[in-house]
Amino acid sequence: MWKKITLGLVLATSTLALLWYMLFGLKSYQLTEQQLKYTFEYQEVNSELDFASVSDHEYAFTFSSFDGAQVNGRIKLPMTSKKQSELPIFIGLHAMGRSDNRWFSDSFKDRPTLEQTHTLANMALEAGNIVIAMDARNHGLRKDPQLTIKQIMWGMHLWGKRQPYENMIINTVKDYRVLLDLLQQHPQFNADKVKIAGYSMGGHMALLLASADHRVTQVLSIVPPHLDDKTALVAPQNYLKNAAANKIWLVSANDDKYADIKDNQALFNLLKAGNKRHIQFEGGHVLPDGYPQQLHGWF
């Protein structure tokens, strides 16, 4: 009797799992070259960068993006005697669930910046770069109480609703492109050759931004999550052939639950930059303390 009950439960569970997958499971899809070509395109924006002083050499900024969405971020200038227009620009892209603050502080709301992006920003400043960071959509000051990150991710993985996630990534990449447009309107910024670095989701978006915008000449992608064609519209492997950056470094971990060793090697193999490196660390998605010190050569 117990064997029959157990067998019945197994069959029922298997049937429900199959039914769930058929109805809601994410499935791969393909895009045409024409679709891929226009993913990150947008109409020219009639907007201005509005600046407000935060402290010496540091400013907050806001602007209206291509769809009218309000964007916020911060700019920090290095201590140097060079003209500002001669300084290279470094843009930091934060991880999922984080905000632009993580590029400027070792903690936020009493929670440490485990990804150590503040250290990377300090290294960029020491190398004479202007450091810029801004909030991604649905993050930081741009959070939407009607659509939280948790809702976006649960909706995608439980119910197959990938569009909110894909839109968040795509529109944030477009926001960065609009930012570059607006910086070019200010003679004190040299936005023709831009360095970008990102951690996790930020590393993922850094690869997409470099593929979409040839003003990006240098990329540091740190532990980007692996995406396949279940989210083809934002999967880096579908766009990397278009990246014109001459220096792209990938930083990965050998026990990262979001991208395994094989995934990371396949991603690295797709990079076309003349100066490309794959730096691998022991451990998981949160890299070991002090890892930025091994990245001095990138700056």
Give residue 19's pLDDT: 46
C-alpha span between 285 and 222 (Å, rounded)? 9
Per-domain residue ranges for the chain?
A: 31-298
Residue of 78, 80, 72, 79 whose CA lies nearest to 52: 72
Q: Would the pLDDT of 23 be above 80?
A: no
Distances (CA, A) of 285 to 76, 104, 175: 28, 21, 26
Q: Would the pLDDT of 16 be above 60?
A: no
The per-residue DSSP string of 64-83 comes to: E-TTS-EEEEEEE--S-SS-
Task: Using CB atoms within 10 Å of the CB of residue 114, give its burial: 0 to 12 exposed, 13 to 18 middle, 19+ buried.
Answer: middle
Provide the percentage of residues in the chain whose pLDDT is more than 70: 92
Residues 6+ apart with CB under 8 A from 2: none
Give the distance, in angstroms, between the CA of residue 103 and the centroid of all CA atoms in the same chain. Answer: 13
Q: Would the pLDDT of 136 be above 80?
A: yes
Q: What is the third-level CATH fold of 31-298?
A: Rossmann fold (3.40.50)
Give the distance, in angstroms, between the CA of residue 132 and the centroid of all CA atoms in the same chain. Answer: 14
Q: What is the pLDDT of residues 145-193, one digit of tens each?
A: 999 999 999 999 988 999 999 999 999 999 999 999 999 999 999 998 8
